[in-house]
Structure 1
Amino acid sequence: MLSAFNTVPFYRERWALDGRTEPTLVPGRKGRHDGATEPELLTRTVVDLVPLAGGETRIDPARGLGRVLPTARRVRPGTLVVIVDPAVPTPPVDLPRGLRGCVVNPETLADDTSSGAVVELVSAVRRGEPVLVVGGDKDLARLCSALPQESAHRIDRLPHRSLSELDGGPYGVLHDPLLGYFGAFRECGRWHLDWRRVYARRTRSGLAFTLLTQRSPMLVDVLVDGGVRAEIRPCPRHGTPVVSP
C-alpha cells in the first residue's frame, strides 16, 4: 500500500482527500469505505492507476486463471482451456505449460458457430483431446447448446463465481472483471484465495482486495461486487486464507 501511495496518482489523491498520510489514517478521519474503492470508479480512472514511472493501462479479466486452475480441478496435459465470457476479450496468458487457451463470446454464438475458437474446440473434442470450459452457468449452458451434441457431452466444465455467488462446489473459481481470477474451490469444501497474489481485508463496506504482484494498473483495496460482507479465515486443513459468507 505504501508503494501505491507514493507512486500512483489515483491513490495519492484519493487517500489524501480521505485523510490518509503515508498511508495511515489521520486521527479522527476514516475516509469512505475505510479507504477502499468501488470498482466502477477504478474502471473509469484506469489511467490514474498507472505508476508515475509508467506502465500498462489494460485491465486483464483473464489474469490469474493459470494460478487457480490446478487448485480448482485436475487438468490433464494438452487440455484446451476455453473461457466463455463476453467480458473476457483475450485468452489467458498464464496457463501452466502444456495447456493452451482461447476465448468464446457466448453472446455471438447463435450467429457465429464457425468462429476460430469454436472450430478449435470442436476439433479438439473430435480428436479426443481434453477440453475444459470456464465461465458463468448461463454462458456455459449457452455454449453447450450451440455445440454438436456429441461434442457437448465430452467437455469438462468449471463454473466461475463472483464473490456474491459463493456456493458449495464441487468445482469453481472466483472471478471478478477487474481483478481476474483470484481464488478456487478446493477439495476441502472451502473457497481459497490465491493468497500469494491476492490480499483481502475487511472494511465497513465489505471485503476489499489488493493484487500483490500486478504493478500496473495497480489495484489496491477494491470493493469486489461493490462490497460483500464475508469473513476471511484460515482453512482448518490447509492453513491458508478462505472466504466464508
Structure 2
Amino acid sequence: MWKLGAGVVWRAAYARAVRSAFATVPFYRERWALDGREDPVLVPGRTGTNGGAVPLAEAVHKSVDLVPLAGGASRGEPARGLGRVLRMAREPGPGSLVVLLGPDGLRPPADLPKGVRGCVADPDAPSAPVLREVTVRLERGHRVLAVGDDKAITTFTGDHRVEAVPHRELDSLDGGPYGVLHDPVLGYLGALGGCGRWHLDWPHVYARPTAGGLAFTLLRQASPRFVDVIPAGGVHGEIAPCPRHGTPVVLA
C-alpha cells in the first residue's frame, strides 16, 4: 500500500514533467507530436511506441535537443543525487568523507549532508591529497565511504575500515547488503534500503514499466531533460509500493 498521498503526489509531479517537456523541450515536442504517447496522452489518437518512452542511448545521441528552449546545460551529471541516496544506503554522519571513484572529469558530489566532505578519485591512481585525507579521517575515528563499481572499490583501497557503497545498474540489482542504483548518464536513482528492497529517490525520480523496459524521469532536473527514458538497454520489471515504507521500489 502506498504511503498516504505519496502515490498521488508522485504521479502529479510526473504529469507536470511530461507536459513541461512537451511544451518546452525540442526532442519531446517533435517525438510526441509525430508519434504520440500515453499516460498521459498529449495528441488524441496517438499513443506512441513504448507508450512514448525512448531508449536512453537514443536521447543522448540528440543531447542538444534535450535542452529546453530557454537554454541550459546539455550534459548529464553522473554524481546527481548521490547525497540523497546515501541516506538510504549507508548514511554518512558528520565528519565523514565520501570518495566517489571514477574517471578524470568526474565532478565531486554537491548534495552531501551538512558536515560531510566529498571528493573524487581515480581508483587506479588516487592522488596523494586524497589518500592523505582518507588516512587522516580514519585516524580521527571518522567514517570513509568509497562509492563506485566493485572493481574500483577493490582497487582503491584494501583498508577494511573504508566502507564500500557499490554501484548497481538497473540490470545488475542484487541483495546487497549495500548498494546504490546508478546510471552513468542519469546519475543516482535510488538505493538498497534496510528493508532489503531497491527504493527509488521518488521525490526526484519517477519510473514506470513500458513495453521496452522500465522508463525513468528526472522530475527536478532543469537541463538536460530526461523524461521517460529507458536505460541499460531495456530492463523489464515493476514499480510497486514497499510493504514496509509505502514508497516506490524497483522489482526487476
TM-score, scaled to structure 1: 0.88
Q: Percent identity?
A: 57
SS in 2 for 1:41: helix
**1: CA distance, partners of 2:35 / 2:135:** 53
Q: Give the RMSD, CA atoms, in angstroms.
A: 2.0
Aligned to 2:82: 65
Counterpart secondary structure, 2:220:
coil
- Structure 1 gaps, min length 5: 146-151
**Most deviating of 164-173 and 203-212:** 164-173
Q: In structure 2, do the counterparts of structure 1 residues 123 and 243 end up closer, same or farther at CA, with 3 Å as the change threshold?
A: same
Distance 1:213 1:53 in 2: 16
CA contact (8 A) 1:136 1:160 kept: yes
Q: Does 1:222 align with 2:229?
A: yes
> After the TM superposition, which residues 15-164 of structure 1 pair with which residues of structure 2 at under 5 Å, given as runs?
15-20=32-37, 24=42, 26-27=44-45, 29-86=46-103, 89-106=106-123, 109=124, 112-145=125-158, 152-164=159-171
- CA displacement 1:185-223 (0-9 Å, x = unmatched): 111111000111111111101100000011111110010
CA 1:170–1:88 in 2, change beyond 3 Å: closer, same or farther? farther
Q: What per-residue deviation string (whole Å, max 9, x for no partner) do you get for residues 164-205 of structure 1?
A: 111112111100011111101111111000111111111101
Matches of 1:114 and 1:180, distance apart in 2: 24
Shift of 1:52: 0.7
CA distance in 1, matches of 2:157, 2:148: 12
C-alpha separation between the residues in 2 aligned to 1:39 and 1:117? 33
Normalized against structure 2, the TM-score is what?
0.86
Contact map agreement 1:62 1:88 (CA 8 A) in 2: no
User: Relative to structure 1, is the Cα distance of residues 170 and 113 closer, same or farther in structure 2, using a 3 angstrom cutoff?
Assistant: closer
Unmatched segments (≥5 aa) in structure 2 = 1-17
In structure 1, what is the Cα distance between the partners aligned to 2:41 and 2:117? 41
Change (3 A) 1:114 1:179: closer
Q: Distance in 1 between matches of 2:34 and 2:188?
A: 31
